Structure 1
Amino acid sequence: MLNFFGIHVLGRDTALSSGSVIEVFARVGVTEEAVRSTLTRMAGRGLLERHRRGRKAYFALTPRAVTVLQNGHDRIWRTGAVNRDWDGQWTLVGYSLPEAWRRERHDLRSRLTWGGFGILQNGLWVAPGVVDVAALLGDLGLDAHLRVFRGTVLAPTEAGQVVESAFDTVAIAAQYRTFLDRWSPPGALGGDPLSGQLLLHTDWLELVRRDPRLPAEHLPADWPAIRAEQLFHTLARRCAAAARAEAERILDTIPAPFPSATP
């Protein structure tokens, strides 16, 4: 759902009616009940704002959601899936949270994974390159429980060992091969550009969210992320215009600002 709003709302200052969102997601087999429940949960977690016009409910992105989606957009279109310019630096985050803080622990781990970190050992996560940890984790309110470092490996430790220990490269490569298997055949986008675009972007964003962008020099020469990224860009551009036209046809929107909105 967040990915859908990223494609069709990010940067446009508009809100979408729940009814039109339901219509789009029906095309990919998601029920009306599931769509309404997801919209409500996302509003409750500060990712969407609800606005009313008569009997209709419209949903817009919050500043928090815009930040998350812009980060995802940058990961897809600017940063890329392959790290060819690693400078040898690592960012490390250590933490210790009370056992009862299950949600906080889940949120922290999810955010670290999104930021490209892997578990080096219990309570210690590592990511290649320079990561702005304050921006990544600052809003979680856990600063007092974190310890952040940056540096390089020293003998007898080797960078390749860190990659092997902290990251499951076999699983990461398998995910890219699954993407290639699904989206390489002719006609993989299907006949509906809007649903094809949504599924394609969602698959790809899930991949790059999990991919820590490991240094290319410590990965196999035939690393499948290279081919998968090329395929995604080709298909995304191929369906963009038709999907945009279909979205303009069926999406019910209201423009920002929302002077009479009801949160």
Structure 2
Amino acid sequence: MPSNPQTLMLMLLGDFVLDRDVCVFSGSAIDALGRVGVSEHATRSTLSRMVHRGLLRRQRDGRRMYFGLTARAAGILHDGRRRIWETGAVNDRWDGTWTLLSFSLPESWQRQRHDLRSQLAWAGFGPLQGGLWIAPGRVPAQDIVTGLGLSAHARVFHARAAELTDIAAMVGDAYDLAGLAARYQEFLARWEGTPPYTDPLAARLSLIAEWLGAIRRDPRLPVEHLPPDWPAVRAQKLFRDLESSSLAPATAIAATLLDLRPESSSGPER
């Protein structure tokens, strides 16, 4: 599925602004996202919203307005890099450990229950039964419950399954495997064969944005306990091949397209 303008903007900044102490001219951002089919109005609105959300800072140079990353946005982009290159989508080095979190909340605490379940799902947990959730590997679950003020209502364990446990069946019970697979199959459908964009910069921005969207909520289940021909394996290889081949031509375009300026030592313009 095509990505939204904010995600594409973050991909542009992650490739050509992050860790370089520079800002990009708004007109350059408009030209870059225009290659992906984003209108000038949509790009200007995206830049404005990202400033208000604390993701970008403005910097004026003469009559031109430049935009740089805030610490919050840099953190988001660094996390995305880790998910793509360090964590990856295929868990083929699982050590057999699981993180278990058991919780019991009063029936009236519907908001707290919703918040806890949402954060557990984001961290890679799946509901096994009742108030027992599991995640592969060692996950800092205690940080989640502490952050929500629920330490008195939850317990965290690290364990290994006994030999009689059918781990594949357990994984199928706790996770929506069909939904996870569908995201990778959608990625493959868009990027195998003829790519959706012929422009190298447009292709690269869209490729990375869509891949990050596919893996962001993947709990990285151990591949040996997933259905045969798990699509993440093929999708990850395709992504890495396309990303590698797109880097040089996209960088060449960006070098002539993007007007960059060093970040000012003075405070950002509001």
Distance 2:102 2:48 in 1: 34
Letter in 2 for 1:105: D
1:87-126 Cα deviation digits (max 9, x unpaired): 2222345676955689x939x82x5444323344577653
Find 1:242's aligned residue among 249, 252, 255: 249
Name structure 1 gaps, 5 residues minimum: none
Letter in 2 for 1:6: G
Distance 1:122 1:57 in 2: 54
Deviation at 1:44, TM superposition (A): 2.5
RMSD over aligned CA atoms reads: 3.0
Find 1:57's aligned residue among 61, 65, 69: 65
Distance 2:142 2:13 in 1: 26
Deviation at 1:81, TM superposition (A): 1.0
Find 2:237's aligned residue among 216, 230, 239: 230
Find 1:185's aligned residue among 193, 198, 222: 193
1:62-104 Cα deviation digits (max 9, x unpaired): 22222221121122112221111212222345676955689x9
SS at match of 1:144: coil
1:253 maps to 260
2:4 maps to none
Find 2:43's aligned residue among 31, 35, 41: 35
Deviation at 1:218, TM superposition (A): 0.8
- Structure 1 residues 132 and 58, CA gap change in structure 2 (3 angstroms): farther
- Structure 1 residues 262 and 92, CA gap change in structure 2 (3 angstroms): farther
Letter in 2 for 1:168: D
Distance 1:14 1:88 in 2: 44
Q: Are 2:115 and 1:105 aligned? A: yes
2:19 maps to 11
1:131-165 Cα deviation digits (max 9, x unpaired): 23477x59xx9341354613226568643343112
Deviation at 1:178, TM superposition (A): 1.9
SS at match of 1:210: coil
- Structure 1 residues 215 and 42, CA gap change in structure 2 (3 angstroms): same
Identity of aligned residues (%): 45
Distance 1:46 1:66 in 2: 11
SS at match of 2:216: helix
1:142 maps to 147
Instruction: Give the stretch that moved more between structures: 152-161 or 232-241.
Output: 152-161
Q: Are 2:205 and 1:198 aligned? A: yes
Deviation at 1:215, TM superposition (A): 0.7
Instruction: Give the stretch that moved more between structures: 160-169 or 203-212.
Output: 160-169
Q: Is the 8 A contact 1:89 1:150 kept in 2?
A: no
Find 2:126's aligned residue among 118, 122, 125: 118
Q: Is the 8 A contact 2:59 2:268 kept in 1?
A: yes
| Bigger Rg over Cα | 2
- Structure 1 residues 254 and 206, CA gap change in structure 2 (3 angstroms): same
Distance 1:84 1:8 in 2: 31
| TM-score, structure 1 as length reference | 0.82
